[in-house]
Structure formats: C-alpha cells, structure tokens
Structure 1
Amino acid sequence: MVGLLGFIAKLAGLRSLPLLNVAGALCPPCLLACTRTQEVLNPINPTNETLPKAMALAKTPALYPGNRSLPQAKTLSFPSLLQSKLHPCPNPSLKPIDALLGLSVAFSPAPLLHLRHRRGVRAPPRASSDPSTLEESFENPQKDATDGLLQRATLVGAATVASKILGLLREIVLAAVIGVGPVATAFNHAAVLPRFSASFLGGVNGPIHITVATTLSKLSKESRRQLTRKMLNIMFLIGGAFSALTYFYADGIIFLTAPGLQVLAEGKLIREMAVNQLKLMIPCILVSGSVAVGFGCLTAERENTYLALSPSITSIAVISSCVVYILMKGLSSSSMNSPLLGVFISSGASVGSLMQWIMQVMIHKNSESETKFISWKDFFNDKDVHKLFALMLPATLSSGLVQITSLTDLYFSSFIPGAAAGLSYAHLLTMAPLGILSSALILPLLPTFSRLTKHSSLASLKENLQKAILLCMVIILPITCTICVLAGPVISLLFQRLMFDSSASSFVSSLLRCYSISSPFWIIQELCAVVFYSLGDSNCPFLINVIAIFMNGILDWLSLSVFGLGAQGLALSTSCVSALSVLALLLLLSKKLGGIIDIREMRGPFLLLLVCCAISGFTTMLSYRMLQFFLSPISILRLFRLAELLSILLAGILGSSAFYCPLVFGQFPGVFLVDSLLKTLLNR
C-alpha cells in the first residue's frame, strides 16, 4: 500500500509526501485488496498503460470532503480498478452502513490519499489544508482497539453497576430484617450449595460461563448453535441429578458444612431451619448449569448486557419476598426471628433463579429457526462436546476448590455465633466493586483472548494482559484504601437499622477491612484464570487451588485455635491465600508466555502505587474527620444519615484524588487508560 502511494506520488510530480499510517487505518481485507491492486500497476515499467490514467488522476480537483466519490473521466479506470479489487469485510456482525471507506485526494504538502475505515454513522470529516488537522484524522489501530474495548466495557459496566446496586439493596433489606441472628445464620449455612451453583458455577465469569464462551468463540455460527443446544440439555440433566441428591441428603450436607451448630445453644433450631431452607433453594441448583451455558453463548455473540443485568432478577425476587413477609407479619421482634421468614427468603431466591432460566429459554427460542431433537449418539460422537467437557470439568473442579477455600471459613465460623452472617455481609461489600470491574473488563476480553490464542498471537496476548492488570490496579487500589479507612461509617450507614444494631456494625466493619486486603489479588487472579482457559490449560489453576485449600484450612485453624483471632482471623487467612495464589499463577503464566512482567522494570511503579495508597488513606481519614466536624449542625437537625453520606462521599473523592495526583504528575501509564475509560463514559 505504501509502495502504491509512493508510485502515485512520483507520477503526480510531488516533491514530498508525508505518508502517515494510512495502511494501518484500513481493515485487513481492504489492505489485502489494495496490495493486490498495487501488483496491477508496475512502477518499474514506465510504458505501463496505466501511466496516462494515473496522470489524469493527478489533474482532478484538490480536495474532496467527506465520503463523496471521485469525479471520473471516461478514460479514467484507476478508481474503478481499485474499487473492483476491494472485498467486503467478512465480519458478519457489521452492517453495510457500519463499514464505510472514505477516499479523498490532495495535491499539497498534505497526504495524497486519505483512506479510513470508519465504524458507525458519523458526520463526514471536513477537508482541510492544515497538516495538523489531517494528522488528527488518522487513527492508530491500537488506539481503535482500545477504544472499542472501552466502549464495550462501558456498556457492560453500566449494566453491572445497576445489577450491583440492586444486589446491595437486597443485602440492606436482609440485614435490616434478619441482622446477624439465628435466621441469618441458618440462611447463610443453607445457601452454601445453592449460592455455589447459582452464583459461581452458573454465574457470570464462572467456570462454565468462561469455558463455554471461549469454546463457542472459535466455532462457526451453525456449529455454535448445535453445541449450545446440546449443552443446554446435558447441563439440565446434570442439574436434575444433583438436585435430587441434595434433597434426599440435605440433613447430612448441613452437618458436614456446619458442625459447630451442634455445640451452640441455639444450634438445633438453626440446623432445622437450615435444612428446610436448603430444600427450598434446590431450583437454584437445578437450572444453574443451563443458565451458565446461556451466558457463555451470549458472550460469544458479544451480547453482554443481559447477562450483566441477569443477577438483578434474583435480587428483586428476594427483596419482594421480604416486603411481602413484612406486610403480612409486621416488624415485631418475634416475627423477625420466626423460621417462616427464612422460608420466604429461600423461596424468593428460588423464584429469581427460575426467572433467569425462563428468560434465557425465551431468548434462545427466538434465535433458533427450528427445533431439533438430540439423541445420546450425538453427544458421544460430537468432538466439540468432548473438547468442551475436557476444558470445563477441570475448570469447574478448580472453581469448586476456590469455593471450598471459602467453605473452610464457613466451616470454622459455625463455632462462632453470628460469624457466618457477618462474613457474608463483609464478603459482599468486598466483592461489589470487584464484580463491576470483572464484568466490565474480563467479559469483553474473553473473545479477544480466545482469538489471540487461536492465531498464536502471544505477543498481543501479553500486551493486552499487561494493560488489563495495570488498569485494574489503578482503579481498585484507591477503592480498597477508601473501604479500609471508612469501613465503620460505611457499614453503619448501610446496615445499621432494625435488627442490625451497633455491635453488629462494629463486628462486620472489622471483617470488611480484613477482606478488602485481598481485592487487588482477586482481580488479577481472575485475569490469569481467563488467560489459562483461553490457552486451553485448566490444570494449572486447578493445582493452585488444591494447594490453596490446604493452606486456607491450616491458616483458619491457626487463627481460631492457636492465635484466638476469631472471625477476623478467618478473613485474614483468605486474603493471605489469595495473594499467594496470584503469585503462583503469575509465575506459571510467565513460563508459558515467555515472561509477563519484568520485576526490575515494575519495581518503581509498584513502589509509587504503594506511596499513593498511603497518601490516599491518610487523606481520606483526615477529610472524613474534618467533614464530620463541619457537618455536625446537620446531624443535630436529625439529618444524621445525610451528613454521614456526604462525609463518606466527599472523603472518598478527596482520598481518590490524592491517590491519582502523584500518578498524573509522574505520567503513570495506567492513568491514561483510566482517562480513556472516563472519556468513553462521558461520550456515551
């Protein structure tokens, strides 16, 4: 392409031709077509018959703004020759109006040809003789890829924020209704298997979702439909088998997961409530696999908005069940401690899972042109099914081992009254920002990583992974500092009402600080796991998680029995295990990809981030205390929650600003990625 432009420049008699990155602005099919067109014009042979035609092209008017076609004389065949060699972009997701190729000609010190592949319908660029203006019109392909990633991340992130807000509202309602009392303890022990099935195995970014999405992204559209249809049926049958086992062995499951209930004073009553609630939440186990396969299909089709909003359905169902119970029984202390309240909450969770499944069935039914019956021979003979299960089973076991790590915390928490509910609230607030960041960045990166591994583009894979890690660290670290400093006020503002008293607020805030330490490690662990799955390797995460289980169990026992740290020690153990797991995954991934991060080069940026964290924490604490002093008159006027909310928000903003100021002045690379993300948010 560059040779073609240089040849035309010589024909036109131009002295200097500033060739910007024109070929890089073209889509690959157009670039290939232009290369083929270059072969038609022979620059070595001056008697080529196309020479007079090219000279005629040089006599056309100077500038053609926008996308207007060139006026062609009858003897001029070069533009038609070029157009005849251009092939349409093979991406079926692009509509014809979404793929526009603009062509303009200039015979000044400006570029000769301006070829630009534009996505979407925008106003045509105005022609200008100013070289700086024309230089801005040329786009770096790496910048285009980053902007496309940020735009998809913005849309999914907005949907995820809405879902997380509803999830937070659900927990606020539950905390006000059940607090950390017996009903809350029973519900958290009963929800171990349903939560594991619905939220982790069958949820967004779960192992089934990730493996299905990465596998379907590599298949054709028809093969994708066939594999999705088969997997939906298979996972529903598997879910039915596990649901039956859970129903018949519910008593034994509660005994194994919460042995401490046999020791507590109210342990027998709590155990009976937990068994009944577990049986009511069996539909969560039944449909979890099918829902996860549907999520994977939507991700492969780049339809991430619905699956980001999907968890909000369960939140709405649980909130509705609590509201109905309060309308029926009132807000008395006896009604709040009744086992019937646990029945309503468990039923709401089951209804929410069933609603997610029904909506996915409707979506897939509308997308299918015909219904086909599947025999068991198709399952045994389908190589795609075999490959998917070969990747899914280790990934599911690996994710199961991660949950067993948290299950050890719940196992030991059964010996501490109220610890199960407190750990649940603290873990939710820790995971809320992580879930938003995970859905906003990891979901759009899934197909990208899969295609890069398919084409063996390991250099691009490492570059994208480094950018994702850097962006996540720059975003999550100020949030972590703010949560650690303002844990007490945040818990008091959100949860302290009705059954959730001041002692419960102090207890949960201490757990929140201990859990927040693991936030940066958790998000990096998710990124590394996605890369391993894209590479078709699920054994490494599996082995790391096996080791993490034993380490977490040992640390839990030491913190509870030897050091006497209580529930806070259980949360600290989980954070330590997450940090060690990330270190091991990065080392294994570096060997597989030939090095990810140069420790010597990253030493300075990491130290700068630590200094920024210290500055941010100190600024947040000082700002909160000063704001409380100045806003004390509002508290006297019975507007305590408004004053507290303003203090937390302003202190968090000031603390985050203090974190970013040194990075901006030091020109830290991650700040520019955050700036691009903010611009994308404002432009949507």
Structure 2
Amino acid sequence: MSDKKLIKSSVIVMVFIILGKVLALIRDALIAAKFGATYVTDIYNFALGIVYLLTTISYGLTTTFIPLHTEHLQKSTKKVRDKFVNNVINMSSIFTILLSIVLIIFAKYIIYVFAHGFWNDPKVFSISVEITRIMIISLIFISLQSVITGVLQAHKEFYEPAAMAAISNIVYIVYLVFLTNKYGIKGFAIATVVGFFMQFAINIPKYIKLGYRYKGNIDFKEKEIHYMFKLMIPVIISTSVVQLNVFVNRSFATNIFFGAVTVLDYANKVSTLAYEVFAIGIGMIVYPTLSELAAKKDVVQYKKALGKAINTILLIMVPASIAIAILREPLITIIFKRGAFDNQAAKLTASALLFYCPSMIAYGVRDILNKAFYSIKDTKTPMINSFIGIIMNIIINIVIIKYMKVSGLTLATSISVIITTILMICNLNKKLEGMEIRRIIDVFFKVVSSSVIMGAVIFIVNKTVVLKFGYGLKASIMSVLVSFVLGASIYFVSIFLLKVEEFNHLINSFLKRKNIEK
C-alpha cells in the first residue's frame, strides 16, 4: 500500500472509529443516567465481560486467518481461496454454537466462580444468570464477523470493519432512549445481541462484492485448517489471558462494594478512548502490510513499517494519556455525571482513571508488537508474555487492593502492562536482529518532552477554569475545549520543531495532496 493510500485509509478508518467512540460515549452516558453505578450495571458489565473474554477465540481466528488468506490471494486460485474461507466459516460456526449451548447451561456456575459477590443476594444472582445467558448468544454473530472481516482486511478493505462499532452503538442508543423504561436491563441485553448481529451484517455487502459466495462445505482433513488452528491456540490463550486480566479485576471489584465494577469499567472506557480510536485503527491497517512483507521476506521494509507504526502510536498515545490524566474530573463529569450517576461515583471513577492512564501508551505499543509477532507466525511469544502479565497483575492486586480499593486495581494493570510491553520489545528486537530501537527511543523522548509542555498548559487552564467557574458541567466542557485547542496547538508546534519524522511526513503528505487538489 502506497503512503498516500495508507494515509487516506488511516484517516477514514479513524473517522469511523471516532464516530463509533462518540456514539459509545453517548451510550455510556445514557447507561449511567438510566442505571447509575448499581448492581444492575455491575451485572450487565460482568455479562459483557464474559462475552468479551470469549471473543478472544474470534480474535485468534481473525489474527491467524489474515496472513494465511493473504498468501492465498498471492498464490492460490479463486476456487481454492473460496473453499478455504467457507471451510473456516463452517467449522468455526459449529464450534461456537456448541460452546454457546454449554455456556448457557452452566451460566450459574460461571457466575459463582467469577462473581462470587453476586451469589450473596438471590435476586442479583437470578438476574445475572438470565442476562448472561441472553448475551452469550452474541458469540455466534461475533464468530461469523471475525472471518468476514478477516477476508475484507486481507483485501485491504478497512472501512466496514471500522464502522462496526458505530452501527452497534446506534442500536444501543435507540434502545436506551426509547425502550429502557419499558424493558429494563433484560431488554438491553437483547439489544446487545442485536448490536453484534448488525456488526456482522454490515460487512456482508462488501464481502459479496469481492466475489465470495457461501457454501456449506466442510473438510476436517484440510491441512491448512489444521495449521491455522495450531497457530490460533497460542493467540487465543494470549488474548484470553488479556481479557481474563480484565475479568480478574472485575472479580476483585465485586468484593469491594456494589458499583465498584461499574466504576472500574467506566474508568477503563475513558482510558481506552484514544487507544481504540487510533491504536486499533493503525494496527488494523498495518497488520496486512506486515503480513505481506513477511510473506515476501522483505526484512528491511518490514522493520521500517514496524518502526513507523510504533512511533505513530507514541505520537498519539503519550499526549493523550497525559491530557486524560489531567482532565480526568471534567471528562467524567461531561460523560457520566448525570441522573443516577452521582458526585461520589464520579469522584471514584476519576480516581481510578488516573492510575489507568499510563497503561494507554503500553497497550498501544503492545498491540502493534502483537501484530508484528503474528505476521511472522510467532504466536507463542505473545502468549507467554500474557501469562507473565496476568500473574503480575493478580499479585499486585492482592497486595494493594486493601489500601487503594478500585484505584489499586487500575494501578496494578498499568504496572503489569508496562513491564510486559518492555519485555515484548526486547523479545522482538532479538528475533528481528534489530528493530530500530534507537530511533524509537529518540522519538519517545521527543514526544514525552512535547507532551509535558502541553500538560503544563492544560493543568493551568483546568485550574483557572475550576477557580472561576467551579466543577459543573458547563465549566467542565469549557475546560476540556480550551485545553484541547491550546494543548494540541502547543504539542504540534513542539513536535514539529523537534523534527519528529513521522509527524513531518504526515504534514508534508497532507500539504502535497492539497497542492494537487488546487
């Protein structure tokens, strides 16, 4: 993919993701207003956590499918290509349906093990079992869309996969606005299933346009399928461990106080805003490129593409983490503080958010590193790294939870993910016999320097607004808007003066495109 097309795709993908996140914020604000930080939202977030934990199977499927299908597009006939895709769809669907049935049957035992706090109240337990069983149905649609989006991304078609979140969030918002009072949390669980179905359905037209047609053939003896599932196992384990890490935190939170799971979840949602908008979008686009370069064994261009991706992540995630840490209180006020979500819930969420912020940078970098390992068909290293991370997280949780409560859970996450990301950089650097580490470190320090200057300005702006106008909604909106304009301007000027290559390249490409249009 050329630089111009890469930039264009990146921008459009990020626009779709930003739209999805804006709608997600509206969704979360409506959830907070309708249900507050109560056992009802704890149940919903816990059930959704189970779904996300099991989506790691689908993630593993997509991740291993893309490099293999990329090779098919380069070397195989259309008949072989289509047979492989249909075989993957059919086998994964059968497995997911069987898994869903088992999980629905044993739902109450899952809750007993992972959310023991719900067991103490019969009403809470009964509702949690019902909601969990409904939401498990989502796994079937998630499995289908994982293969379809894998096909699209292998063809470097990114727009539909990027728009999935926006589509599902529209479903949730419609339900929360018009139907919540009548059907409550049970209806919202059903709406969640519908949302996942819509994520699958939006990809179908492009899939058909690319020339693919569904057939019911299944070949359990196909060697390539066996190879793919062999690669999948470490990916599933490593990604499951990451989701299990979140799940473990929620399990710890169920024993702190009712509403703790919701506080933890809302803090996590705000901390992952920039990550989900930019890091996931960049990772989605760079992964097929890395897979293609790995297939061609073009080591030089592979390292350059990897270095650019990591530096681009740093350019975005470092200032974002600092800005969110400083503006945590006005952000929580704007997004959640209304209706049943009171001042106490807002303060607890803001405190938890502060300790989540460092993890934003590490998660962004680690996502690119995972893609790099998967593109060279090394799925074991990320798996081992994930195990190290969850063990560290559990140990730190046990030590500090009694002193810091929910904030201790978020601090433990940040510490563990930073250490495991550093370990992954060392492993990949050794495997590739060098991955432009000096250049990455140079960009990192330039970005940190610029972000600190930006942070100082934002801190002064926020303090000034608070002293003059207090902590209300209007003051919070004013603080965030003024901080964004001044902070972003100062950061971009600093980055430009420090001559960060990736930023200057984006500016030059944009100016060239404007000149051509004129």
TM-score by length of 2: 0.92
Distance 2:346 2:511 in 1: 38
1:272 corresponds to which letter in structure 2?
S
Distance 1:440 1:433 in 2: 10
2:111 corresponds to which letter in structure 1?
I
Distance 1:504 1:516 in 2: 19
2:461 to 623, 647, 660: 623
2:43 to 171, 176, 186: 186
Distance 1:453 1:520 in 2: 26
Alignment of 1:562-601 (within 5 A): 564-599=403-438
Does structure 1 residue 655 correspond to structure 2 residue 487? yes
Equivalent position of 1:487 in the other structure: 328
1:374 to 214, 217, 230: 217
Alignment of 1:41-60 (within 5 A): none
Q: 1:219 to 1:403 in 2, by over 3 A?
A: same
In the TM superposition, what is the alpha-carbon distance from 1:643 to its structure 2 partner?
A: 4.5
Looking at both structures, which has the greater relative contact order when contacts are Cα pairs under 8 Å and sequence separation is at least 6? 2
Contact persistence 1:250–1:278 (CA under 8 A): yes
Distance 1:379 1:682 in 2: 53
Equivalent position of 1:500 in the other structure: 341
Equivalent position of 2:8 in the other structure: 151
Equivalent position of 1:408 in the other structure: 248
Contact persistence 1:151–1:680 (CA under 8 A): no
2:129 to 270, 275, 282: 275
In the TM superposition, what is the alpha-carbon distance from 1:408 to its structure 2 partner?
A: 1.3
1:241 to 86, 98, 118: 98
Equivalent position of 2:87 in the other structure: 230
In the TM superposition, what is the alpha-carbon distance from 1:478 to its structure 2 partner?
A: 1.4
Deviations 1:510-543 (A, max 9, x none): 1111111111110110101001111011000011
- Judging by fraction of residues, say which structure has more helix: 2
Does structure 1 residue 610 correspond to structure 2 residue 448? yes
In the TM superposition, what is the alpha-carbon distance from 1:681 to its structure 2 partner?
A: 9.4
Does structure 1 residue 671 correspond to structure 2 residue 511? no
Deviations 1:572-603 (A, max 9, x none): 1111111111111111101111111345x665
Equivalent position of 1:77 in the other structure: none
Give the stretch that moved more between structures: 355-364 or 386-395.
355-364
Does structure 1 residue 251 correspond to structure 2 residue 104? no
Equivalent position of 2:293 in the other structure: 452
In the TM superposition, what is the alpha-carbon distance from 1:546 to its structure 2 partner?
A: 1.2
Does structure 1 residue 428 correspond to structure 2 residue 288? no
SS in 2 for 1:217: helix
2:69 corresponds to which letter in structure 1?
L
Does structure 1 residue 461 correspond to structure 2 residue 314? no
CA RMSD, 1 decimal: 2.4
Q: 1:674 to 1:423 in 2, by over 3 A?
A: farther
Q: 1:680 to 1:571 in 2, by over 3 A?
A: farther
Q: 1:610 to 1:383 in 2, by over 3 A?
A: same
Deviations 1:80-127 (A, max 9, x none): xxxxxxxxxxxxxxxxxxxxxxxxxxxxxxxxxxxxxxxxxxxxxxxx
Contact persistence 2:90–2:216 (CA under 8 A): no
In the TM superposition, what is the alpha-carbon distance from 1:154 to its structure 2 partner?
A: 1.3
Distance 1:598 1:491 in 2: 37
1:260 to 114, 117, 122: 117
SS in 2 for 1:536: coil
SS in 2 for 1:613: helix
| Greater C-alpha Rg | 1
In the TM superposition, what is the alpha-carbon distance from 1:556 to its structure 2 partner?
A: 0.8
Alignment of 1:319-334 (within 5 A): 319-326=173-180, 328=182
Does structure 1 residue 391 correspond to structure 2 residue 391? no
Deviations 1:142-198 (A, max 9, x none): xx9322211111121111111222122111111111111111111112222223345
Among all aligned residue pairs of Structure 1 and Structure 2, give the percentage whose two residues are the same amino acid. 22
Equivalent position of 2:170 in the other structure: 316
1:535 corresponds to which letter in structure 2?
I
What is the count of residue pairs matched by the alignment? Answer: 511
Contact persistence 2:152–2:206 (CA under 8 A): no
2:463 corresponds to which letter in structure 1?
R
In the TM superposition, what is the alpha-carbon distance from 1:208 to its structure 2 partner?
A: 2.4
2:72 to 219, 224, 230: 219
Distance 2:284 2:509 in 1: 16
Equivalent position of 2:139 in the other structure: 285
Contact persistence 1:484–1:516 (CA under 8 A): yes
Distance 2:408 2:361 in 1: 19
Distance 1:191 1:370 in 2: 32
Q: 1:243 to 1:469 in 2, by over 3 A?
A: same
Equivalent position of 1:534 in the other structure: 375
Equivalent position of 2:187 in the other structure: 344
Contact persistence 1:193–1:285 (CA under 8 A): no
Distance 1:366 1:415 in 2: 51
1:300 to 115, 130, 154: 154
Q: 1:555 to 1:370 in 2, by over 3 A?
A: closer
Deviations 1:270-303 (A, max 9, x none): 2222111001112212222221111101101221
Distance 2:43 2:215 in 1: 44
Does structure 1 residue 353 correspond to structure 2 residue 207? no
In the TM superposition, what is the alpha-carbon distance from 1:372 to its structure 2 partner?
A: 3.8
Structure 2 unaligned residues grouped into runs of 5+: none
2:358 to 503, 517, 524: 517
Distance 2:187 2:41 in 1: 13
Distance 1:473 1:454 in 2: 27
Structure 1 unaligned residues grouped into runs of 5+: 1-143, 329-339
In the TM superposition, what is the alpha-carbon distance from 1:501 to its structure 2 partner?
A: 0.8
TM-score by length of 1: 0.71
Q: 1:507 to 1:679 in 2, by over 3 A?
A: farther
